[in-house]
Amino acid sequence: MEAIRKQASKLREQVAKQQQAVLKQFGAGGYGASDSILADESELNQHQKLEKLYISTRAAKHFQRDVVRGVEGYIVTGSKQVEIGTKLSDDSKKYGAENTCTSGSTLSKAALSYGRARAQMEKERENLLKALGPQVAEPLRAMVMGAPLEDARHLAQRYDRMRQEAEAQAIEVSKRHAKVQESMGNPDYTLKLESAEAKLQELRSNVATLGKEAAAAMAAVEAQQQRLTLQRLISMVESERSFHKRVIEILDQLEGEMVSERQRIEASPSPAVENPVPPPPAYEEVNSVFAFSSYNGVTDGMGYFLGEVMHSYQAESDVELNLSVGDYVVVRKVTNNGWAEGECRGKAGWFPFGFVERRDRVLASKVAEVL
């Protein structure tokens, strides 16, 4: 009989150990331990709520860290962009201030305008980068590292440890119940059972109280995380939107100036002639040398010089010379009625003198083209 009792006791201990192992296995799958070891339904709901809060606040914390890293990286790369853009602005303004060409100062003006606009855009970018740090990164970093979140997590971890202790105590009470039944009401076993039950009741009360405190703290942190993170994201969007809006305004103004200047050049009319220009004087070729007769016997004594064609001219007779903008002409004679005679690209003829401008310095390659 005694052997049967010992065998039954061993079997009960094995069952209790297996039950405890199974409970631990299920409890290791998520936050805290098993949801079924404590029979109190309200405590079970509290435990599940706290588990969700713990997961939510942890995810929000990681997202806040990602935003901080992203903003810091944007500031670093943006600062490099400001440096490059400022250098381009300085180079453009330097070219515009120090360089002109024989055909005018259109490119110099455009370079100056672009340099000034680029400087304004980089200033706007610099202001954006300065705002992102204190408005977005710093508040989120402070919350990630702040005490409220850590304090709430510590409460949740204390609750979890106490709950595991209560579960272990519940198993101990179950074992002592079995021993009391086996000993047929042994006073010592009964006393130990009552002590274990009292401890379990105290632990359950403490678990319920601590669970409420931890859940309240975690819920407060979660609400603060949601509110603060959303506010900082909105602030970042507003800052970037304001930056891009200002840049678009600067670019629109710059484009308007450049397009207006280009249209002015393209629409530049041919030089106006107050009085109709009389036909050019006649000339004849003698021994491959052109002999010119003056119109009404009048010529000036300017001598030969090079002129740059500023306006195209289409010859209307065999004695006239075709001109294209940018060509150079050897001007050999100018009459007092607005006509000039010269040679361009191996051809000689008359053309309106107002269509060219005198040039004292011309590249040798241009002279070669004329001849």
- Measured CA to CA in angstroms, residue 238 lies from 82, 137, 234 at distances of 20, 15, 6
> How far is it, in rounded angstroms, from Cα 25 to Cα 167?
13
Provide the 10 A C-beta neighbour count for residue 128.
21
Residue type, 38: L
- To the question of pTM greater than 0.75 for the whole model, the response is no
261: in domain: yes
Q: What is the mean pLDDT of residues 75-104?
A: 89
Please tell me the least confidently modeled range out of 7-16, 106-115, 241-250, 292-301. Answer: 292-301
Of the pLDDT bands very low, low, confident and very high (cuts 50, 70, 90), residue 285 is very low
> How far is it, in rounded angstroms, from Cα 58 to Cα 73?
23
Asked if residue 319 and residue 210 are part of one domain, the reply reads no
Of the pLDDT bands very low, low, confident and very high (cuts 50, 70, 90), residue 22 is very low
Asked if residue 222 and residue 138 are part of one domain, the reply reads yes
Task: Annotate 335-359 with DSSP letters as a single string.
Answer: -TTSEEEEEETTEEEEEEGGGEEEE
Structural domain containing residue 336: 305-358
Asked if residue 310 and residue 262 are part of one domain, the reply reads no
Asked if residue 83 and residue 176 are part of one domain, the reply reads yes
Asked if residue 309 and residue 256 are part of one domain, the reply reads no
Task: Evaluate if residue 128 carries a pLDDT over 60.
Answer: yes
138: in domain: yes
Q: What is the mean pLDDT of residues 290-297?
A: 39
Tokens, residue 258: 């450049």
Asked if residue 254 and residue 149 are part of one domain, the reply reads yes
293: in domain: no
Provide the 10 A C-beta neighbour count for residue 284.
9
Residue 205, pLDDT score: 87
Provide the 10 A C-beta neighbour count for residue 315.
15
Direct distance between the N- and C-terminal alpha carbons of the chain, in angstroms, rounded to an integer: 136
CA dihedral 231, 234, 240, 242 (to 10 degrees): -100
Residue 12, pLDDT score: 59
Task: Evaluate if residue 202 carries a pLDDT over 50.
Answer: yes
Asked if residue 64 and residue 172 are part of one domain, the reply reads yes
Of the pLDDT bands very low, low, confident and very high (cuts 50, 70, 90), residue 326 is confident
